[in-house]
């Protein structure tokens, strides 16, 4: 009988804890913003560079802003 109460209590505690984590996840998701691409910015570089890359990064170094993306068809990276 004691083991049954202990099992039921442990079960309720686990259910309660799982419900609490879902509420936190929902609150975090409410702070998220999904960006949808509407337009494309296309500019020619040269004949060997394929610029339709899905991995593009912007970074700043020594006060200058750079745009970095990988050349999918080649082995070099463009900055």
pLDDT of residue 57: 76
Q: 49: burial class by Cβ within 10 Å (0-12, 13-18, 19+)? A: middle
Question: How far is residue 69's CA from residue 57's CA, in Å, rounded to a whole number?
Answer: 6
Chunked into runs of 10 residues, the chain (79 residues) has average pLDDT values of 82 76 59 73 65 69 82 54
Per DSSP, 62 falls in state T
Phi-psi region of 67 (alpha: psi -120 to 50; beta: other; left: phi over 0): beta
Question: How far is residue 51's CA from residue 72's CA, in Å, rounded to a whole number?
Answer: 8
* Lookup: tokens for 40: 């494309």
């Amino acid at each position: 009988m004691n083991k049954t109460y202990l099992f039921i209590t442990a079960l309720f505690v686990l259910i309660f804890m799982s419900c609490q984590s879902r509420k936190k996840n929902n609150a975090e998701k409410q702070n998220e913003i999904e960006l949808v691409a509407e337009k494309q910015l296309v500019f020619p570089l040269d004949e060997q560079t394929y610029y339709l890359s899905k991995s593009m990064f912007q970074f700043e170094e020594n006060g200058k802003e750079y745009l970095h993306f990988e050349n999918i068809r080649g082995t070099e990276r463009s900055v």
